Amino acid sequence: MAAPKTPREFPFVFFRHGPWGYPDEIESIHVSLVFAADVPVDVRDAIEASAPEPIGSFRWPLSGLMTFGPGEGERFDALVGAAYRANDDVTSRAYVQRCADALDAWLLATHARAPLTCVLGWFGELRTDPWAAWSASVAADRVLPRLVTVLADAERGLVTRTLTSLQGIDPRLDDEVRQIYRRLTGEALPEL
């Protein structure tokens, strides 16, 4: 399943979508999937079971929010290399991109099971491919209202991690994200 190419095809907001860098730029990965509605346990299990290597360490802190990343002490770059490096790889960019393509396909399949509002987090530099650019342009209307609902009863650490992951994506979002954080916690959003 190939990644969508035009705004009409983009099924959900996906910040930081785009080509990945070399493995030293992907040492760590921490991603949050914000779903359009609460996800039943059997669907959560199916989503986790269908994840490509090396995605794991799933957590569902809320029924509409899943996070994942490497396990304690694991380095994501090493896991990607072990799962996707072929003997004939001349550069690491080829196997890193194979992993990115597998994750794109999994996220699209996940969206078919349980509609996603957005993908937050990721790693490395901010990417500006068409999907990421479109995502930044629609985030205020499509993402922020759902985040307020999902995070309304969340513990402060989760609210902080989730909302700080939006900092710097688009200046138009920064003020709104700070206001949401203050509304949910009564405090100022920590700066990155």
What does the pLDDT look like over 83-140, one tens digit per residue? 777 776 656 777 777 887 888 899 999 999 999 999 987 655 556 788 888 888 888 8
Whole-prediction pTM: 0.85
Extended beta strands in the chain, E state: 13-14, 30-35, 59-62, 65-68, 116-122
Extended beta strands in 11-105, E state: 13-14, 30-35, 59-62, 65-68
**What gap in Å lies between CA 55 and CA 130, rounded to an integer?**
25
For residue 118 the two structure tokens come to 């957005």
